[in-house]
């Protein structure tokens, strides 16, 4: 016991000294060449005291000296857990749906803007989840499909005046083709190699968009994309069918909500289908899956294509919402963000990915005050997450679930 705490203190000391060494160049060297120490020391002391307190608390907790607090806390937690389990899954879904549907009624523009971003990322995260979470292929260039979908709608809208709804299948189709083009040559690769190649493909798509001036107008982007429109019956003076451009933010919100609901249903169905199970088998052991009669080549290509389709749909929506596309929206950092959402939320878990997307879009908005330290806070929270919840915020439960469902039937 004493030895263990000795190790902790030694680790703490080394860590805190290191932190000082790292912190000083970051905060103490100014752009005009002057040096200062007081600010560094101040920040360092705050961090040192906070971590010291945290370590003391954990040590006391481990030594059972805090039962007077932890006892009641654990009891309430288990009470909350058991009562939340009493609410059936559909109850949670209804609650979430109600919240999502009424959201624009009691929120302002900025909140709706953030919500639209969250929904787009949910769509992307669920699409990427097919490739990574289910089929187990690490794809670092996923945003390419988002870009392909966005440009497909942008070009169709500019040149052929095609409406958003009609362009959706085209966007899905071209993204699917792009997915197959990327998937086909890379399917023989596994693990790290696949990751590097997909990373390269993602960049290739962005560079093509950037340089093919005649088609994409290069870095200037494409302007004047039409917003989605709907026809609705009007009884104002007699009966007539009116057309409405869905430009207002809360209309846009409902459009993307529709897209997300479609994506969730589709991904859920795929997850629990024969194909979903085959994908999981491939993820677990490709050779064994092949020995069980799974056509791994076809199914991996299908995973790429399906993932790309949802990316393409999200991309078409993105173009319609911004009414402007340019290559800089499809950089590697976007791929990394989507990947982070999938990992953070919990691979192959639909509620997990929804929560992950919320966390990664909303948290930076909350931390906007601390503009400078935003990425630091982001990195710290990711590290803590991986330490304490390595399987994600809401780990996938489907393994056991499928059997339960069967028993019920």
Partner 1 sequence: MTEQPVLELQDIHTSYGNIKALKGISLSVFQGEIVTIIGANGAGKSTTLMSICNIVPIEKGAVFYYGEAIHKRPADTLPARGLIQVPEGRRIFPRLSVEDNLDMGAFFRKDHAGIAADMGHVYNLFPVLKDRTRQKGGTLSGGEQQMLAIGRALMGRPKLLLLDEPSLGLAPMIVQKIFEIINNINTINKTTILLVEQNANIALKTAKRGYVLETGTILFSDQSDALLGNPDIRKAYLGEI
* Nearer Cβ to partner 1 (43/301): 301
Q: Which two tokens stand for residue 96?
A: 């979430």
Strand partners, 243: 231
Closest separation in Å from C-beta 404 to partner 1: 7
Q: CA 334 to CA 328: how far, in whole Å?
A: 10
Strands 222-223 and 240-245: unpaired
Closest separation in Å from C-beta 292 to partner 1: 5
Q: CA 191 to CA 187: how far, in whole Å?
A: 11
Closest separation in Å from C-beta 278 to partner 1: 6
Q: Give burial (CB, 10 Å; 0-12/13-18/19+) of 30.
A: exposed
Q: CA 402 to CA 281: how far, in whole Å?
A: 14
Closest separation in Å from C-beta 188 to partner 1: 13
Closest separation in Å from C-beta 287 to partner 1: 6
* Nearer Cβ to partner 1 (261/288): 288
Closest separation in Å from C-beta 272 to partner 1: 11
Binding site for partner 1 (CB under 8 A): 274, 277-278, 280-281, 284-285, 287-296, 399-400, 402-404, 406
- 137 phi/psi in degrees, rounded to 5: -110, 125
Chain-centre distance for alpha carbon 71: 36
Q: CA 310 to CA 345: how far, in whole Å?
A: 18
Which residues, 6 or more positions from 261, have their beta carbon under 8 angstroms from its beta carbon? none
* Nearer Cβ to partner 1 (242/405): 405
Strand partners, 54: none
Closest separation in Å from C-beta 127 to partner 1: 22
The closest alpha carbon to 158, from 211, 216, 210, belongs to: 216
Closest separation in Å from C-beta 134 to partner 1: 12
Closest separation in Å from C-beta 78 to partner 1: 22
CA distance readout (Å), 194 to 136, 183, 189, 208, 318: 11, 10, 5, 21, 27
| Cβ neighbours, 10 Å, residue 330 | 27
DSSP letter string, 69-107 = HHHHHHHHHHHHHHHHHHS-HHHHHHHHHHHHHHGGGG-
Q: CA 382 to CA 77: how far, in whole Å?
A: 24
Strands 229-234 and 240-245: antiparallel
Closest separation in Å from C-beta 163 to partner 1: 41
Q: CA 116 to CA 228: how far, in whole Å?
A: 15
Q: CA 371 to CA 69: how far, in whole Å?
A: 36
């Amino acid at each position: 016991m004493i030895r263990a705490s000795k190790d902790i203190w030694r680790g703490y000391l080394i860590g805190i000294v290191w932190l000082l060494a790292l912190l000083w160049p970051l905060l103490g060297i100014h752009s005009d060449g002057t040096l200062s120490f007081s600010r560094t020391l101040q920040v360092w002391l705050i961090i040192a005291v906070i971590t010291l307190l945290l370590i003391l608390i954990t040590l006391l907790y481990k030594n059972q000296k805090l039962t007077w607090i932890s006892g009641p806390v654990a009891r309430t937690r288990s009470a909350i857990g058991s009562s939340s389990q009493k609410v059936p899954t559909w109850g949670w879904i209804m609650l979430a749906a109600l919240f999502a549907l009424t959201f624009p009624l009691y929120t302002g523009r900025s909140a709706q803007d953030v919500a639209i971003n969250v929904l787009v990322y949910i769509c992307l995260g669920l699409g990427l989840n097919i490739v990574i979470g289910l089929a187990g292929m690490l794809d670092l260039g996923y945003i390419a499909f988002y870009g392909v979908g966005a440009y497909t709608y942008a070009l169709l809208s500019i040149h052929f005046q095609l409406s958003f709804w009609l362009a959706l299948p085209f966007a899905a189709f071209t993204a699917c083709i792009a997915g197959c083009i990327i998937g086909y040559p890379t399917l023989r690769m596994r693990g790290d190699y696949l990751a590097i190649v997909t990373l390269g493909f993602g960049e290739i798509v962005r560079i093509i968009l950037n340089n093919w001036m005649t088609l994409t107008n290069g870095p200037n982007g494409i302007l004047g994309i039409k917003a989605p429109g709907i026809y609705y019956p009007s009884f104002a003076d007699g009966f007539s069918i009116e057309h409405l451009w869905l430009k207002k933010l809360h209309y846009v919100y409902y459009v993307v909500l529709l897209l997300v609901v479609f994506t969730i249903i589709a991904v859920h169905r795929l997850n629990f289908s024969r194909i979903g199970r085959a994908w999981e088998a491939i993820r677990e052991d490709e050779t064994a899956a092949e020995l069980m009669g799974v056509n791994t080549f076809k199914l991996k290509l299908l995973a790429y294509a399906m993932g790309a389709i949802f990316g393409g749909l999200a991309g078409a929506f993105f173009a319609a919402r911004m009414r402007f596309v340019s290559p800089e929206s499809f950089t590697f950092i976007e791929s990394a963000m989507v990947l982070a959402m999938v990992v953070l939320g919990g691979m192959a878990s639909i509620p997990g990915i929804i929560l992950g997307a919320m966390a990664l879009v909303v948290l930076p908005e909350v931390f906007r005050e601390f503009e400078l330290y935003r990425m630091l806070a982001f990195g710290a929270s990711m590290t803590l997450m991986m330490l304490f919840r390595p399987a994600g915020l809401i780990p996938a439960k489907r393994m056991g679930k499928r059997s339960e469902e069967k028993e019920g039937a």
